[in-house]
Structure 1
């Protein structure tokens, strides 16, 4: 499934950690590695002399060389690209040009602002990418080489976007011998309204949970159909948090020591004009483990990996 992995790097520690995780995935999946560094157009405009312009490019070459050495150390075929422009645009273009099957990027790099959803570049890549994007948080620097995916969580709301995540969750779990957790979260706050003082009828909540279990069973069947040997755990949980479904996912991640979340970019209730579904956006902002975001175009691609 992942035969070419694109690693955008900007010289930040977070980008380097993400690149290391991407290289580990490339080793595991026997994939080629493409590394790209974009000299921002703004920085290029600020360069007042030819020497300053040369320094920007030299810095980019050093950044690329460092990550290239890491990939070469595990015998991965490597291509490096130094380009100029708007980073998110150039990264998405490079992924398309190289037919990348996965982008691995840090949650927030040098140009990201803490008050934003994510680093500005990461947010832009998520908006533009037609291939899955693995967003890697900063994490613990002392544990940055301990890449293990023993527990994979695939949340579902029954949407096509959630279904698109199934083959990716199954693939990661198969390669790492992981357990796949399939989860549906019943958002009681949304069901009852923020000012519902009387509570919800028990029968109504039970219907919501039954719908959630149907979605869970359908996705579990899809995953099991791809690999009957995978260990599966299914659950439906309730949440009353104002963070809604994302809070239920966050609590489940903590309680079950989940290593990676694989999820669609949008859910049933999200508008096409939105950058990301509100659930996915909140999970990316608040859950500090790797999140693999699968675009809705993946559902039409029907990606298969039956022989591996």
Structure 2
């Protein structure tokens, strides 16, 4: 087989695979609820760019993606695509880990939502979405503020810790007040440790059904917390993570 014929055969194979994939999603959707309207589209190009542009053009409210494939190349590719969508999309992204299909989605009560916060702009828009989701799903909202002193100078550790604890209490109180205004039950907690480790751990310990996080903060510490930390939580979490970019509109 010549090079040109080989390339054409490979492209046709990819097209066939794409068609089978979207048809399977349409079938699964119809099996779940025949009244749901499904539109299927196949686009050529860099996957994360195509997803982002399609969402923008169609004014999509939420993008739903898996965080890991099965094995080998599928796993690496899907991880890369999902993370790039998380970094660049202007719409919220619901990132679903592969083990979230057990139990089935219709068996998950969504009774407990977790909202990590650091008081930044990114956390503020995530708070609005978290409270709205908790209200619609009739869920309780757990708010978590993680105090990370690993980058503090030892001579200033106590003073630094006290300042962060005070900031954390203010952030938790603000979410409690906003939740109470719309009848959402809010409980808050502060923990000491790296956020990327403490958030998944807290979610497991308290049987959280869904984590709601911002994907971008302002600058400096806020940007670090709501950027790389969110990506690490998405990689590690055993439950879906609803990721809200700072550019997202309020729900």
State the TM-score bracket (shorter-chain normalisation). 0.7 to 0.9
Question: Which string of whole-angstrom CA distances, capped at 9 and with x for unpartnered residues, describes residues 228-252 of structure 1?
Answer: x21111122222xxxx122222222
Shift of 1:221: 2.2
Cα distance, 1:46–1:218 mapped onto 2, change above 3 Å: farther
Q: Does residue 277 in structure 1 map to residue 238 in structure 2?
A: no
The TM-score, its normalising length taken from structure 1, stands at 0.70
Q: Does residue 113 in structure 1 map to residue 72 in structure 2?
A: no
Q: Which residue of 2 aligns with 1:32?
A: none
Confirm or deny: 8 A CA contact 2:87 2:215 kept in the other structure: no
Q: Does residue 265 in structure 1 map to residue 223 in structure 2?
A: no
Q: Does residue 103 in structure 1 map to residue 63 in structure 2?
A: yes
Q: What is the aligned counterpart of 2:122 among 149, 161, 178?
A: 161
Cα distance, 1:208–1:137 mapped onto 2, change above 3 Å: same
Q: Which residue of 2 aligns with 1:143?
A: 103
Shift of 1:63: 1.3
Confirm or deny: 8 A CA contact 1:182 1:235 kept in the other structure: yes
Confirm or deny: 8 A CA contact 1:134 1:293 kept in the other structure: yes
Q: Which residue of 1 aligns with 2:236?
A: 286
Q: What is the aligned counterpart of 2:174 among 201, 218, 222?
A: 218
* Structure (1/2) with the larger strand percentage: 1
Q: What CA distance in whole angstroms lies between the structure 2 residues aligned with 1:113 and 1:99?
A: 28
| Pairing of 1:26-65 with structure 2 (within 5 A) | 48=6, 50-65=8-23
Shift of 1:167: 2.0
Q: What is the aligned counterpart of 2:40 among 69, 75, 80?
A: 80
Question: Which string of whole-angstrom CA distances, capped at 9 and with x for unpartnered residues, describes residues 23-74 of structure 1?
Answer: xxxxxxxxxxxxxxxxxxxxxx997265553333222212111110122231
Q: What CA distance in whole angstroms lies between the structure 2 residues aligned with 1:46 and 1:224?
A: 64
Q: Which residue of 1 aligns with 2:190?
A: 236
Moved more, 150-159 or 212-221: 212-221
Question: Which string of whole-angstrom CA distances, capped at 9 and with x for unpartnered residues, describes residues 123-159 of structure 1?
Answer: 1211221100111111155423333311101111110
Which structure would you say has the larger RCO, counting Cα contacts within 8 Å and 6 or more residues apart? Answer: 2
The count of residues paired between Structure 1 and Structure 2 equals 243
Q: What CA distance in whole angstroms lies between the structure 2 residues aligned with 1:289 and 1:215?
A: 24
Q: What CA distance in whole angstroms lies between the structure 1 residues aligned with 2:203 and 2:4?
A: 44
The TM-score, its normalising length taken from structure 2, stands at 0.85
* Structure (1/2) with the larger helix percentage: 2
Shift of 1:267: 3.6
Cα distance, 1:80–1:271 mapped onto 2, change above 3 Å: farther
